[in-house]
């Protein structure tokens, strides 16, 4: 009996050794595969969400309903036709406009907010948004450049102990455009080169991994002379910004494989605005510069009578707009970089975003009050639109070379708050 027991024991150890050897040999390819660095990015595309409202303080205060207004440097990121839209008091053949907006100031909420509208708190560490615009007008023509940037930091690991474990994501949309007005400045047509760019790097520094591509934008504004209303149309193309690989770069950052592209969906916007109150028919009046040009050009168009600069033009302004967002293929949310985020497809369906805004000249020439509402569509399947309430004010500051003003805005919704400040010209 003792000899038999020893024999069984030896056979058992042989079987255990053979099984262990096979396990090691079978696991070796897996281990080598895990150690290998990917040479190609993932096929999915990161979704640039246009549903989040970005713009100057006036645009945000009016709930983004600005396509049918299209005025000034603050307006041309919303409608490029603003580039050739001369102000009613312009006396020179040329004009210069500038706007600068800083949104999501440091004292607003942090990781508890839900920017991408998926119903969950974001996993971002911080977020900043900046918009700037510059335009130059000469007679019937206008050119300009606008840029808006959103920067956010995500944790690449669950510990997130240092900057080397955080990924800094920068998303930029820019446009270089030109516009021309026709007739009595009744119809304005604009064309622009629209670009979408993104960059990814470690928060501790290092080389940027860049994405980028361009498309063509077409915008229009109809503002009939002597009528208290306007109509605007804007078309933004779908832009798929592929990864621009540089020599020696691999698609890996903080141990995470990058995505093959960033996609911005096409957006069609239809907008209208109305002036109410005494003198509302002057909403689309010609500027002194435009009236003088009609006389000098000698066209068959009738030249309207000159009106005083301080003539009332309706103290109430109402603006309405609807945005149509196209669907995109194989897209995932930006939060896919977060270590605890679950991946899911977004942007699979076409979405609508209605907007409504109201402005009142409370103290003519000094103070304006604004309010608005809009429904933010969610790119996530099954998520309903999120209602927003917006508002703000504009105050005349001083006259030095131009009339300067300061504007403030807010945008409030469930798990979302946005405060903005703008410096620009009083118009």
Dihedral of alpha carbons 68, 73, 78, 79, sign:
positive
Whole-angstrom Cα distance, residue 153 to residue 124? 6
Max CA distance (Å), the chain: 124
Q: What is the DSSP-derived secondary structure letter of residue 228?
A: S
Q: What is the DSSP string of 121-177?
A: ---EEEEEEEEEEEEEEETTEEEEEEEEEEEEEEESSSS--SGGGEEEEEEEEEEEE
Other Cβ atoms within 10 Å of 361 Cβ, number = 18
From the list 171, 58, 56, 174, the residue with the least C-alpha distance to 115 is: 171
Percent of the chain predicted with pLDDT > 90: 41
pLDDT in tens, 98-134: 877 776 654 445 556 777 788 877 766 677 778 888 9
From the list 195, 293, 167, 282, the residue with the least C-alpha distance to 230 is: 282
Distance, CA of 324 to chain centre: 15
pTM: 0.83
Please give the structure tokens belonging to residue 341: 């985020």
Per-residue pLDDT of the chain (427 residues; tens, 9 = 90+): 343 333 344 444 454 454 444 444 444 444 444 456 777 888 899 888 877 787 788 899 999 999 999 998 878 889 999 999 998 888 899 998 887 777 665 444 555 677 778 887 776 667 777 888 899 999 999 999 998 888 888 777 777 777 777 888 888 889 999 999 998 899 999 999 999 888 888 888 778 889 999 999 999 999 998 999 999 999 999 999 998 888 888 888 877 888 889 998 999 999 999 999 999 999 999 888 988 888 887 667 778 888 887 788 899 999 999 999 999 999 998 777 665 556 788 999 999 999 999 999 999 889 999 999 999 999 998 889 999 999 999 999 988 877 888 888 999 998 888 888 777 778 7
């Amino acid at each position: 009996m003792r000899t038999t027991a020893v024999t069984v024991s030896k056979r058992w150890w042989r079987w255990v050794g053979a099984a262990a050897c096979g396990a090691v040999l079978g696991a070796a390819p897996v281990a080598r595969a895990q150690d290998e660095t990917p040479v190609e990015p993932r096929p999915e595309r990161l979704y640039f969400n246009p549903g989040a409202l970005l713009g100057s303080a006036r645009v945000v205060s009016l709930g983004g309903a600005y396509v049918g207004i299209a005025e000034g440097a603050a307006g041309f990121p919303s409608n490029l036709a603003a580039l050739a839209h001369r102000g009613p008091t312009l006396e020179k053949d040329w004009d210069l406009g500038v706007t600068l907006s800083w949104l999501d100031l440091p004292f607003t909420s942090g990781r508890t907010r839900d920017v991408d509208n998926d119903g969950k708190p974001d996993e971002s560490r911080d977020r900043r948004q900046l918009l700037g615009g510059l335009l130059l007008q000469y007679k019937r023509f206008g050119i300009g450049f606008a840029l808006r940037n959103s920067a956010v930091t995500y944790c690449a690991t669950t510990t997130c102990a240092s900057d080397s474990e955080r990924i800094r994501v920068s998303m930029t949309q820019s446009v270089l455009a030109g516009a021309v007005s026709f007739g009595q400045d009744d119809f304005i047509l604009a064309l622009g080169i629209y670009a979408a760019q993104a960059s990814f790097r470690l928060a501790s520094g290092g080389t940027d991994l860049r994405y980028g591509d361009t498309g063509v934008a077409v915008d229009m504004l109809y503002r009939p002379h002597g009528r208290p209303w306007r109509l605007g149309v804007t078309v933004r193309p779908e832009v798929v910004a592929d990864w621009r690989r540089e020599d020696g770069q691999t698609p890996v950052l903080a141990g995470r494989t990058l995505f093959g592209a960033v996609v911005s969906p096409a957006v069609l916007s239809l907008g209208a605005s109305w002036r109410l109150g005494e003198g509302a028919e002057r909403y689309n009046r010609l500027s002194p510069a435009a009236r003088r040009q009609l006389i000098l050009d000698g066209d068959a168009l009738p030249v309207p009578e000159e009106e005083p600069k301080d003539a009332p033009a309706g103290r109430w302004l109402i603006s309405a707009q609807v945005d149509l967002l196209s669907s995109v293929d194989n897209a995932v949310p930006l939060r896919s970089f977060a270590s605890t985020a679950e991946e899911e497809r977004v942007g699979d369906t076409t979405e609508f975003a209605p907007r409504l805004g109201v402005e009142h000249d409370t103290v003519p020439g000094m103070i304006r009050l604004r309010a608005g509402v809009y429904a933010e569509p969610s790119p996530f399947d099954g998520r309903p639109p999120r209602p927003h309430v917006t508002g703000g004010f504009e105050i005349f500051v001083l006259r030095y070379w131009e009339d300067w003003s300061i504007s403030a805005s807010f945008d409030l919704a469930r798990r979302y708050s946005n405060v903005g400040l703008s410096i620009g010209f009083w118009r």
